[in-house]
Amino acid sequence: MLIIKNNAGLQVFIAAAQKKGQRIGFVPTMGALHEGHLALVRHAASLSDIVVCSIFVNPTQFNDPSDLEKYPRPITRDIHLLHNVGCTVVYLPSVDDVYPPGLNTSMRLKPGPLSEVMEGEFRPGHFAGVMQVVNRLLDLVTPDYLIMGQKDYQQVAIIRFMLQSLKSTVELVVSPTIREKDGLAMSSRNVRLTKAWRSHAPLIHKTLSLVRGQLNQKTLQTIEKEGIEALEEVGFRPEYFRVVDGETLQQIKDPSHHDHIVVCTAAWAGDVRLIDNVILKP
Ligand code: PAF
């Protein structure tokens, strides 16, 4: 496994791989890796000849400076974890590599209605930053496959929209959410949960999963209200609990009118913000 810290090194490696006709799988991350990320790398390795995993805490997607500051950065541990999971290159660019002074990396493409709901309501500018960094990293890595996790359902929808809008040839591959045994979705933020919050945290997945049995029995308004109440009961501060169309991400009124349905939530567990979703109609 190679560790490449700058664009020049990456370009040499990518050019040599492409000359040999090797297919490149790319897993972008912000580090603080866990089993969920490793599953993405393994998935990438099953599709491609070489796998590039980037670790870059992207400043442009944080709307809260203290969240950026608190973001965990256990780089030595991350590199160690990437051994033996099929990762060929760990790419560790600096801010200047991703956003070189003098290069306009801002995107004219706007994420539109997909980014105005849920995460977009509570993290203004977040998805513009995600699109900017993913677009820039794709320019640098030039992969055949981009592998992302279903846990960030809205992020995946926006990146799909971006790739389609830019007529990109990169194939987006979505990997299922990896969960702890008790159902908690794996996330880099979980390490910041206190012991008490860690014990409450599985309730998020449990509450989302209950919606499956309720979809044809209760109104969507009741389902969403009860979801919020169930989380509030143990002290979570939910920001949203929504049953949405799986493609447009807009709230739905009648499940029978939609081919794809997903229920998504974001809730604060103390000072840690957790998100999760369950696909109700795949
Ligand atoms: O999901 C993440 O970790 C980030 O949003 C991503 C895709 C690596 C872009 O910084």
Confidence of residue 67 (pLDDT cuts 50, 70, 90): confident
Report whether pLDDT(166) > 90.
yes
153 CA from centroid of ligand 1 (Å): 12
Where among 175, 204, 233 does a domain terminate? 175
Taking the alpha carbons of 29, 4, 100, 67 in that order, is the dihedral positive or negative? positive
**Protein residue whose Cα sits closest to atom 9 of ligand 1:** 130
Is the domain of 157 the same as that of 211? no
Please list every protein residue whose CB sits less than 6 Å from any atom of ligand 1.
28-30, 58, 61, 130, 133-134, 152, 155
Is the domain of 136 the same as that of 36? yes
55 CA from centroid of ligand 1 (Å): 9
Q: Point out the ligand 1 atom lying closest to the alpha carbon of residue 57.
A: 10
In a domain, 112, yes or no: yes
For residue 74, the enclosing domain spans: 2-175
Cα three-residue angle 60-177-146, rounded to 5 degrees: 55
Is the domain of 118 the same as that of 57? yes
In a domain, 229, yes or no: yes
What percentage of the chain has pLDDT greater than the value 70? 100
Is the domain of 159 the same as that of 246? no
Across residues 185-213, what is the average pLDDT?
97
For 77-133, the pLDDT digits (tens) are: 999 999 999 999 999 999 999 999 999 999 889 889 999 999 999 999 999 999 999
For 209-266, the pLDDT digits (tens) are: 999 999 989 999 999 999 999 999 999 999 999 999 999 999 999 999 999 999 999 9
For residue 266, the surrounding DSSP H or E stretch is strand 261-269
CB of 211 closer than 8 Å to CB of 280: yes
Residue 198 CA to residue 184 CA, distance in Å, equals 9
Report whether pLDDT(70) > 90.
no
Report whether pLDDT(200) > 90.
yes
Is the domain of 213 the same as that of 170? no
Mutation test of ligand 1: which of 26, 27, 29 has the most ligand atoms closer than 8 Å to its C-beta?
Answer: 29
Residue 253: which CATH number?
A: 3.30.1300.10
217 CA from centroid of ligand 1 (Å): 36
In a domain, 183, yes or no: no
Catalytic residue selected from 37, 43, 126, 205: 37
**Protein residue whose Cα sits closest to atom 5 of ligand 1:** 130
Q: What is the pLDDT of residue 29?
A: 98
CB of 147 closer than 8 Å to CB of 43: yes
119 CA from centroid of ligand 1 (Å): 14
Q: Is 258 a catalytic residue?
A: no
Report whether pLDDT(186) > 90.
yes
pTM: 0.96
**Protein residue whose Cα sits closest to atom 8 of ligand 1:** 29
- Total domain count for the chain? 2
Confidence of residue 64 (pLDDT cuts 50, 70, 90): confident
Is the domain of 50 the same as that of 126? yes
Q: Point out the ligand 1 atom lying closest to the alpha carbon of residue 159.
A: 7
For 36-49, the pLDDT digits (tens) are: 999 999 999 999 99
Confidence of residue 204 (pLDDT cuts 50, 70, 90): very high
Q: Point out the ligand 1 atom lying closest to the alpha carbon of residue 188.
A: 3
Across residues 23-32, what is the average pLDDT?
98
Report whether pLDDT(282) > 90.
no
Is the domain of 121 the same as that of 221? no
Report whether pLDDT(71) > 90.
no
Diameter of the chain measured on Cα atoms: 58
In a domain, 184, yes or no: no
156 CA from centroid of ligand 1 (Å): 10
In a domain, 182, yes or no: no
Where among 150, 175, 200 does a domain terminate? 175
In a domain, 185, yes or no: no
Q: What is the pLDDT of residue 111?
A: 86
Query: Which are the contacts of 32, defined by CB distance < 8 A and separation ≥ 6?
Result: 71, 72, 73, 74, 78, 188, 191
